[in-house]
Amino acid sequence: MKIEELLTHTGEWLRGEGPSANIVMSSRIRLARNLAKTPFPSRSTKKDLETTLNIVEKIMVKVPFLKGATLFRMNELDQVDRQMLVERHLMSHEHASNPDGKGLLVSTEEIVSIMVNEEDHLRIQVMRSGLNLTEGWDIINTIDDTISKEIDFAYLENWGYLTSCPTNTGTAMRGSVMMHLPALVMTKQINKVLAAISKLSFACRGFYGEGTQASGNFYQISNQVSLGHSELDIIQNINGLIRQVIEQEEQARQALLVQNRPMLEDKICRCWGLLRTARIISSQEAIELFSMVRLGIDTGILKDVNHKALNELFIVIQPAHLQKIEAKKLNSFERDTKRASLIRQKLGGKDV
Amino acid sequence: MQCDICGKKKATVHLTEIVDEQMSEMHLCEECARQKSSQMEQQFGLADLLAGLSQTTPMVKESKEGMLKCSDCGLNYEDFRKFGRLGCSQCYVSFKENLSGLLRKIHGSSHHLGKTPYALKAENPVPVSSSAALLPSENVEGLKKQLQIAIAAEDFEKAAMLRDKIKGLENG
Ligand SMILES: [Zn+2]
Ligand SMILES: [Zn+2]
């Protein structure tokens, strides 16, 4: 697959369906794995890094869910290409900024990706739509089992999987859930909820899209502890917490609808109108408007748009995507113009 | 609004950070936010934990730690403390004593309860007679490797079990 082919579709996990898709945008499971006998990437020689990449290339054909997958070598891609992979949530920003010896394996529907030679030799990631960590775990567990038949992983019985950073040691698993919590923000309850989450040693970031502008209504919640609990226990803990947050958000949405329906309708419809008519728009503004439109879909106030269309826009309005679509470098002003026209097109706005 | 870190560029990223139940808001430019987010991702309080750890360690140990070095990759413990990254799987054995406390501080436990790599599932008792059907690392060589690791990690219970198994295979 050539990298441009990614532009013809969006990841399967952005289809906007699945459990609690009205509040949970997506779920991600990540496993870190290292080869037992090769120094971790930060202390690997150039030759070590190349050997690790070649091993991955050789075994990928045997791994389920990776049929037809592509291995991108970072130093064969230019900066915009690499940034595009970051914008698609397939890899970290760190992986793009220092390309030597690094690779990225991407499955056809972008459900699975494997960063090779990031901080650890392998960073396996599975993305699912909605609240679906359990399904994500089933997939990643199968992939990990298959790879572990081919590769000796760094592992100690008492400490589990050994990782470059001791915060990942043990299961080396991180489960993250991207939540959309506009009503908790609007009713000023979000800080209370976030404080409760952090008390339970979960991480919460009011931060959407690494390297792009953020919106306050999207929050990514993930486990911090990876040692001393089984993978399924960790997932159950996250699920339990997320369900509570979902309930709170649902109550807050109800409260807004009951007490303030005309104001909520006005706010949502204005945002919808802005998106369909604006000529110049920053990604920060766009994401804030998307958030309101999303709430409009979930409350039944807006009927001519769905999650999938909106989710796709989240990805393609980012700087590298805009430049790949136009196939040329764009300055900030050109991007804001192109972004606005893409959004109008996608949301059925009128070009006068 | 200007960036809280560099104070130069326009703040476009608004971040909520919670440390010790204290919430703070940060307004950052794109560049500083990137740095900040990768720091948070990677180091979640690690620097603090590492610093805290050295404060509670007596001075005598301090000088011993200064010379502590991984037998495989050559990483100094001092460098690990500075950057928070280990160099290879053997580092976990070389720095075993220090890491044990650190892992407990980070995770509240230092005992793995998650899955086991496929090759090591061979520890489940296997009838010696079916040696032809053994998994790759269930052979004597694989078990000897595991034995070395177990001894290095001072996991004597496991080492004894592996030793018995190797004996069984060699005699069978
Ligand atoms: Zn800055
Ligand atoms: Zn080492």
Q: Rounded to the nearest whole angstrom, what is the distance from the C-alpha of residue A13 to the centroid of ligand 2?
A: 38
Q: What is the pLDDT of residue B56?
A: 45
* pLDDT tens-digit readout, B100-119: 999 999 999 989 999 999 87
CB A152 to CB B119 under 8 A?
A: yes
Q: Tell me the pLDDT tens digit for each residue of A290-321.
A: 999 999 999 999 999 999 999 999 999 999 99
Q: Which residues pair with A220 in a beta bridge?
A: A178, A205
Q: Which residue has the higher pLDDT, A311 or B13?
A: A311
Give tens-digit pLDDT for A244-294.
Answer: 999 999 999 999 999 989 999 999 999 999 999 999 999 889 999 999 999
Residues of B in contact with A160 (CB under 8 A): 112, 114
- Whether B132 has a pLDDT exceeding 80, the answer reads no
User: Given a cut of 60, is residue A23 above it in pLDDT?
Assistant: yes
Residues of B in contact with A42 (CB under 8 A): 85, 87
Is the Cβ pair B38, A92 closer than 8 Å?
Answer: yes
Q: What is the CATH number of domain A3-253?
A: 3.30.590.10
Whole-number pLDDT of residue A158:
94
Neighbours of ion ligand 1 (CB under 5 A): B 3, 5-6, 9, 29, 32
Give residue B127's pLDDT band: very low, low, confident or very high (50, 70, 90): very low
Instruction: Give the least confident one: A64-78, B6-20, B68-82, B155-169.
Output: B6-20
Residue A199 · residue A207 · CB < 8 Å: no
The per-residue pLDDT for B53 is 53
Q: Which residues of A36-75 are buried (b: 16+ CB within 10 A; e: fewer)?
A: bebbbbbbbeeebbeebbebbeeebeebebbeebbbbbbe
The answer to whether the CB atoms of B109 and A228 lie below 8 A apart is yes
Confidence band for B40, pLDDT divided at 50, 70 and 90: low
Of all ligands present, the nearest one to the C-alpha of B90 is 2
Residue spans of the domains in chain A: they are 3-253, 261-346
Q: Distance from the CA of A214 to the center of ligand 1, in angstroms? A: 15
pTM: 0.79
| Inter-chain CB proximity B107 and A227 less than 8 Å | yes
Residue B2 CA: which ligand is closest? 1
Does B39 score more than 70 pLDDT?
A: no
Task: Give the distance from residue A352's alpha carbon to the nearest chain B alpha carbon, in angstroms.
Answer: 30
| pLDDT: which is higher, A66 or B35 | A66
Whole-number Å distance, alpha carbon A321 to ligand 1 midpoint, is 23
What is residue B16's predicted lDDT score, i.e. its pLDDT?
58
Taking the C-alpha atoms of residue A102 and residue A116, their distance in angstroms, rounded to an integer, is: 6
Residue A158 distance to chain B (closest CA, Å) = 5
